[in-house]
Amino acid sequence: MSTLFSRPDYDALILGAGASGLYCAMTAAERGRRALLIDHAAKPGCKLSITGGGKCNLSNRSVTPGDYVGENPDFCRSALSRFTPEHIAELARTAGITLEEREHGQLFCARSARDLVRFLVSRCAAQGCLMALDEKILAVEPVANAGAEDSPRFCLRTSKGRYTARNVVVATGSPAWPQVGASGIGYELARSFGHRIVPIRPALCGLVMPQDWGLSGLSGISLPADIRVEGRAGRSPAPGKKDKGAPRLPVAESLALLFTHRGISGPAALQASLHWRKGDALLINFLPGLRTEDLLNAPGAGKTLCRNLLRGHVPERLCAALIPDALGRKKTAELSRAERTLLAELLHCHRLVPSGTEGFSRAEIAAGGVCTREISSRSMESLRAPGLFFCGEVLDVSGRLGGYNLHWAFASGKAAGEAL
């Protein structure tokens, strides 16, 4: 513990110039706070620049707490109620950015994610927020005798020096996609102040299948599918509580599923990975919104070979891999009741047990993070260490695919910035 009696260097040190850190710094600087934003990258917003294929899916037409997964599902409610998709629209208008709405209400920058990064950076600078780049965050220590209102409470150690401040905001994200400077330093800092970390795992990433997987060799095939995760309730159980069983609703509904060399990917698999844990099975419906029974009973279907009937709905190679040859070559009118049931099971309830995920290097986010039961849901301030804040992905708040993670980064960054 350091002992310092002088005036703090800054009102707030904001660690990480990513989506949440930039938004937090902008909000704090607009409120007249002396803030320093620090990042080890040479440029701010590196991950933000590559999101959404370079066009940044920054929010969604509809954002609710139900779009997020975490041990404490209500935690995000307060910040989300104060930062809605209308605020994103307002931000875009101020920044002169045209938003483009795509399927499932996803909102993208029509031109480039870099437009948003440039706007946030210039707004921070215009409001007097300083930025230190190429500077690695090493540790944050509490300052002794920090009682007086204007005395520093924290001392930050970086690769280039030391800074003191009344407040520190940890906005260092997660280790997902380390190619752009992502790291797990936020968890180390949280632990050093006694915070519990909900175990982290790669999420919104492809799932890898065992080598003897029955559907290997279908690489390149893509089709819409529903996926359920068997064995989980879609949310992590609270400590000491049991899982609530299989979710009744699919975690991915009629989203594109892509077969790869190693397993499955595409939006359906990415969405499923948010809920999947080692050992869980996936139940895949290759005919979302359709019933095999209706196809078999359709007028004129009786004389058609099963495989020909399905050809219009399921890619031929997948059909051949799923349906035994003898069954595929039968006319639908010749199918016994048991064969009809088997066909429906093969198409609507295909069971897979992935061996793992593609890992942090290919994951859009890390699920898990700083336990939100120890954080104020209004201000993002630590309930353990006054003046210490957390925002963005470092917290145990994980959004599904569709702009929810960036929306959370901005909403939580704003909540912290307003409390500084």
Ligand X SMILES: Cc1cc2nc3c(=O)[nH]c(=O)nc-3n(C[C@H](O)[C@H](O)[C@H](O)COP(=O)(O)OP(=O)(O)OC[C@H]3O[C@@H](n4cnc5c(N)ncnc54)[C@H](O)[C@@H]3O)c2cc1C
Residues that bind ligand X (CB under 6 A): 16-21, 39-41, 46-48, 50-52, 56-57, 136-137, 171-173, 176-177, 181-183, 185, 364-365, 392-394, 403-406, 409
CB of 24 to ligand X, least distance (A): 9
Q: Which residues pair with 357 in a beta bridge?
A: 207
CB of 111 to ligand X, least distance (A): 15
d(CA 110, CA 255): 23
SS3 349: coil
CB of 254 to ligand X, least distance (A): 20
CB of 404 to ligand X, least distance (A): 6
Q: Are 272 and 266 in contact (CB under 8 A)?
A: no
Please give the structure tokens belonging to residue 227.
Answer: 């996926």
What sections of 247-305 are H helices per DSSP?
A: 266-273, 292-296
CB-wise, 257 or 380, nearer to ligand X?
380
CB-wise, 171 or 306, nearer to ligand X?
171
Please give the structure tokens belonging to residue 205.
Answer: 């990433």
CB-wise, 171 or 225, nearer to ligand X?
171
CB-wise, 195 or 228, nearer to ligand X?
195
CB-wise, 265 or 405, nearer to ligand X?
405
CB-wise, 52 or 73, nearer to ligand X?
52
CB-wise, 50 or 283, nearer to ligand X?
50
Please give the structure tokens belonging to residue 338.
Answer: 């048991």
CB of 280 to ligand X, least distance (A): 23
C-alpha R_g of the chain: 25
372: buried, middle or exposed (CB in 10 Å: 19+, 13-18, 0-12)? buried
Q: Are 389 and 25 in contact (CB under 8 A)?
A: no
Give Cβ neighbours of residue 248 (< 8 Å, ≥ 6 apart).
none
CB of 262 to ligand X, least distance (A): 18
CB of 306 to ligand X, least distance (A): 41
Q: Counting runs of H as helices and runs of E as strands, what totals does the chain give? A: 13, 22
Q: How many CB atoms lie within 10 A of CB 222?
A: 15
CB-wise, 226 or 364, nearer to ligand X?
364
Residue type, 234: G
CB of 120 to ligand X, least distance (A): 11
Q: Are 310 and 323 in contact (CB under 8 A)?
A: yes
Q: Which residue has the tokens 């397993």?
A: 263
CB-wise, 170 or 343, nearer to ligand X?
170
DSSP string, 242-259: PP--S-SS-SEEEEEEEE
CB of 230 to ligand X, least distance (A): 27
Please give the structure tokens belonging to residue 4.
Answer: 């310092």
Residue nearest to ligand X (CB): 18
Q: How many CB atoms lie within 10 A of CB 209?
A: 21
